[in-house]
């Protein structure tokens, strides 16, 4: 079930939390929603799930407007809210049974759905405990289980791995990837490696506006104006190598990194690649190219550049 966001805005008093954003998410796609604190992620997610009303614009789910068909469309959405509100006095099994009936799961299917969620979310060992007795990570698993209890086509997950230990993070990411093959998933996170590990596409929002939309690879390409490579050249004299590098037509600048081992950082001219020139230079001079490694722009740097203003 596809989601189309069209010129969506939301104001709280004088503050514009979400400012005319438009994007689309397709079935089988996991979209990572990134942005600094207060950027408007949770507000957008709350509007998509019908948790709060739309300010301006519209949201189409499976081609139908949330404005007109909101109540009906809610059936297709599973939502893990930011602070994962749970009934602490309820045992896990009772809570999930309660959520299933609230979500309209047929009576004769409720117990099998609850058992499936307990298995999928790794709650087997803790299933008879009250939610209040669970660790933060297990509460997060209960939150995920309630979001998926009615087998929704769409999953909206606000910081799903918050509070999980590194082993649990790996498992939950695997689970989300698995679920994401058939469903439409939007997840928000502050953990940048998480988006790369889990998501097909990244949307970065800052001050209510979308500032980037694409795969990690596309964002890197857009961010890297100039190619950057690290090289190490054996058998030559440092100063001679540096002079020769500076004469290459594709090179903007060559920065020495280590004079003893002849390591350099090579910045190519805009739109050019210096790899071939470097290789040919070494062949001509009889030097050995010990290392030639392209340096990728880190997602952290892209995020900082786009959101630090
Ligand atoms: N109920 C509310 N009343 C007034 N202002 C609000 C309310 N909810 C959010 N805001 C404001 O709207 C802006 C966007 O908040 P939102 O919670 O959507 O950001 P976020 O990107 O989810 O941030 P975080 O990463 O910190 O969770 C913030 O400036 C916030 O203070």
Structure tokens at 87: 């009934």
- For residue 259, the domain's CATH number is 3.30.70.100
The candidate with the shortest Cα–Cα distance to 67, out of 45, 43, 40, 47, is 47
Residue 307 lies in a domain: no
d(CA 146, CA 103): 9
Reported ipTM: the value is 0.97
Residue 40 lies in a domain: yes
If asked whether residues 235 and 91 sit together in one domain, one would say no
If asked whether residues 280 and 185 sit together in one domain, one would say no
DSSP 101-144: HHTT--HHHHHHHHHHHHHHTT-GGGTTSBGGGS-HHHHHHHHH
Parts of the chain with a pLDDT under 70: 224-225, 309
* Confidence (pLDDT) at 224: 66
If asked whether residues 155 and 272 sit together in one domain, one would say no
Residue 248 lies in a domain: yes
Q: How many domains, the chain? A: 2
If asked whether residues 179 and 281 sit together in one domain, one would say no
Give ligand 1 pocket residues (Cβ under 6 A): 12, 15, 17, 35, 37-43, 82
- Cβ atoms of residues 34 and 303 within 8 Å: yes
d(CA 108, CA 128): 21
d(CA 263, CA 236): 11
If asked whether residues 177 and 241 sit together in one domain, one would say no
If asked whether residues 216 and 234 sit together in one domain, one would say no
If asked whether residues 197 and 138 sit together in one domain, one would say yes
If asked whether residues 209 and 236 sit together in one domain, one would say no
The candidate with the shortest Cα–Cα distance to 61, out of 148, 2, 9, 7, is 2
How far does the centroid of ligand 1 lie from the alpha carbon of residue 90, in Å?
29
Q: Which atom of ligand 1 is nearest to the CA of 39?
A: 21
* Confidence (pLDDT) at 242: 95
* Confidence (pLDDT) at 60: 96
If asked whether residues 229 and 211 sit together in one domain, one would say no
Residue 249 lies in a domain: yes
Residue that finishes a domain, picked among 222, 247, 263:
222
Query: E strands, the chain, where?
Result: 3-12, 15-25, 30-34, 56-61, 64-65, 77-80, 154-158, 184-188, 201-206, 209-214, 228-234, 251-258, 263-268, 288-294
Distances (CA, A) of 244 to 139, 249, 281: 61, 11, 8
Whole domain around residue 141: which residue ranges?
3-222
If asked whether residues 36 and 175 sit together in one domain, one would say yes
Structure tokens at 91: 């045992």
Residue 35 lies in a domain: yes
* Confidence (pLDDT) at 306: 84
How far does the centroid of ligand 1 lie from the alpha carbon of residue 93, in Å?
33
Residue 57 lies in a domain: yes
Residue located nearest, by CA, to atom 4 of ligand 1: 12
What torsion, rounded to 10 degrees, do the Cα atoms 258, 260, 263, 267 define? 60
Q: Which atom of ligand 1 is nearest to the CA of 52?
A: 1
* Confidence (pLDDT) at 32: 95
Q: Which atom of ligand 1 is nearest to the CA of 44?
A: 18
- For residue 216, the domain's CATH number is 3.40.50.300
* Confidence (pLDDT) at 225: 67
The candidate with the shortest Cα–Cα distance to 88, out of 19, 42, 134, is 134
Residue located nearest, by CA, to atom 30 of ligand 1: 38
List, for residues 46-57, the tens digit of each pLDDT value: 999 998 999 999
Residue that finishes a domain, picked among 171, 191, 222:
222
How far does the centroid of ligand 1 lie from the alpha carbon of residue 43, in Å?
6
Residue 309 lies in a domain: no
Q: Which atom of ligand 1 is nearest to the CA of 46?
A: 18
How far does the centroid of ligand 1 lie from the alpha carbon of residue 13, in Å?
12
If asked whether residues 40 and 103 sit together in one domain, one would say yes
How far does the centroid of ligand 1 lie from the alpha carbon of residue 1, in Å?
27
Residue that finishes a domain, picked among 222, 244, 271:
222
Residue located nearest, by CA, to atom 18 of ligand 1: 40
If asked whether residues 32 and 176 sit together in one domain, one would say yes
List, for residues 218-236, the tens digit of each pLDDT value: 887 777 667 889 999 998 8
């Amino acid at each position: 079930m596809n989601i189309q966001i069209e010129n969506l805005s939301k104001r709280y008093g004088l503050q514009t939390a979400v400012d005319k954003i438009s994007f689309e998410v397709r079935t089988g796609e996991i979209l990572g929603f990134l942005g600094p604190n207060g950027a408007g992620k949770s507000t957008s997610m709350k509007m998509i799930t019908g948790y709060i009303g739309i300010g301006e614009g519209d949201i189409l789910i499976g081609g139908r407007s949330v404005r007109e068909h909101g109540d009906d469309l809610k059936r297709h959405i599973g939502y893990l809210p930011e602070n994962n509100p749970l009934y602490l006095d309820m045992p896990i099994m009772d809570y999930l049974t309660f959520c299933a009936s609230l979500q309209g799961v047929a009576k004769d299917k409720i117990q099998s759905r609850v058992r499936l969620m307990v298995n999928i979310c790794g709650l087997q060992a803790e299933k008879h405990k009250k939610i209040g007795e669970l660790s933060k990570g297990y509460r997060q698993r209960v939150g995920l289980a309630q979001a998926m209890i009615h087998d929704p086509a769409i999953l909206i997950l606000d910081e799903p791995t918050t509070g999980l230990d590194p082993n649990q993070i790996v498992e939950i990411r695997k689970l989300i990837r698995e679920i994401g093959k058939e469903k439409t998933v939007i997840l928000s996170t502050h953990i940048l490696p998480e988006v790369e590990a889990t998501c097909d596409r990244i949307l970065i929002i800052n001050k209510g506006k979308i500032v980037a939309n694409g795969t990690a690879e596309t964002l890197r390409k857009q961010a890297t104006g100039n190619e950057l490579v690290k090289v190490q050249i054996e058998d030559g004299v440092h100063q001679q190598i540096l002079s020769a590098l500076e004469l290459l037509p594709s090179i903007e600048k060559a920065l020495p990194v280590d004079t003893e081992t002849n390591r350099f950082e090579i910045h190519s001219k805009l739109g050019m690649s210096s790899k071939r020139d470097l290789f040919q230079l070494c062949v001509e001079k009889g030097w050995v190219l010990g290392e030639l490694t392209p340096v990728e722009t880190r997602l952290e740097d892209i995020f900082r550049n786009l959101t630090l203003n």
